[in-house]
Chain A
Amino acid sequence: MEDFLRYLERESRRVAVKRIGRKIAWEESLETISKAPTEFLDMYYLSEKPGDLVIMDRSTARDFEERLKFLEKELSKVRKINDFLKLLVTTLIIALVILVLKIFGG
Chain B
Amino acid sequence: MSLRKNIVSLEKEIKKRFVGNDEEIHIAILNLLHPYSTLLIRAPRGLGKSTLMLLLLKGIFGDDFVVISGASEVKRGEVIGRLHIPSLEKKGIEKVVWSAFVKTPGKGIDEVNRLNPYTTANIYHMLQFGEVWAYGERRKTEDFILISNENPSDPTTFKHPPPFYDRFDIVIYLKSLTLSEKFELQSLLKKYGGDLIRTMPQTISFDEIKEIREEINDVEIDVELKGIINMLVRDLQVCIRNRDFSMIKPLALCEGCHFIRDICSMIRIGPSERATVILSYLVRAMIWLDGKCEPSDVVNLGKWVFPHRIELVKERYLLEDIIEILNREKIKMREREIRKEWFILNELYKGFSRELYRKAKEISLEDQVFAEELMKLEKKWVDKGVISFEETISAYFK
Contacts and interface: CB of A to CB of B under 8 A. Distances in A.
Contact of B261 (A6, A15, A17, A52): A52
Contacts of B118: none
A7 B338 contact: no
B325 to A, nearest CB: 15
Interface string B197-212: 0000000000000000
A33 interface: yes
A5 to B, nearest CB: 7
B343 A3 contact: no
A15 B224 contact: no
A15 B359 CA distance: 16
A10 interface: yes
A84 to B, nearest CB: 46
A10 B335 contact: no
Interface string A1-28: 0010111111110010100001110100
Contacts of A22: 353
A29 interface: yes
B340 interface: yes
A35 B335 contact: yes
Nearest to B373: A4
Given A24-B356, A52-B261, A11 B331 contact: no
B95 interface: no
Contact of B223 (A6, A17, A31): A6
Nearest to A28: B338
A7 B345 contact: no
Interface in B307-356: 331, 334-335, 338, 340, 342-343, 345-347, 349, 353, 355-356
Contacts of B347: 12, 24
A91 interface: no
A12 B342 contact: yes
A35 B261 contact: yes
A7 B335 contact: no
A73 B234 CA distance: 54
Interface string A52-92: 10000000000000000000000000000000000000000
Nearest to A13: B343
Given A7-B227, A35-B261, A12 B335 contact: no
Contact of A3 (B223, B334, B346, B356): B223
Given A15-B340, A33-B334, A7 B349 contact: no
A8 B342 contact: yes
Interface in B227-260: 227
Contacts of B223: 3, 6-7, 10
Of B223, B224, B335, chain A has the most CB atoms within 10 Å of the CB of B223
A7 B334 contact: no
Contacts of A3: 223, 226
Given A29-B338, A52-B261, A8 B345 contact: yes
Nearest to B231: A7
Given A3-B226, A7-B227, A29-B338, A12 B346 contact: yes
A30 to B, nearest CB: 10
A95 B24 CA distance: 67
A10 B224 contact: yes
Contacts of A23: 355
Contact of B227 (A11, A33, A52): A11
Given A29-B338, A33-B334, A34-B331, A7 B224 contact: yes
Contacts of B335: 33, 35
Given A31-B338, A33-B335, A8 B226 contact: no
B338 A33 contact: yes
Contact of A15 (B331, B343, B353, B355): B343
A47 B75 CA distance: 64
B342 A26 contact: no
A17 to B, nearest CB: 7
A12 B345 CA distance: 9
Contact of A5 (B224, B331, B349, B356): B349
Nearest to A7: B227
Of B226, B338, B340, chain A has the most CB atoms within 10 Å of the CB of B340
17 contacts: A5-B346, A6-B223, A7-B227, A7-B342, A8-B345, A8-B349, A9-B346, A10-B223, A10-B224, A11-B227, A11-B342, A11-B343, A11-B346, A12-B342, A17-B343, A33-B338, A52-B261
Interface of B: 223-224, 226-227, 261, 331, 334-335, 338, 340, 342-343, 345-347, 349, 353, 355-356
Nearest 4 CB-CB pairings of A with B: A8-B346, A11-B342, A15-B343, A7-B227
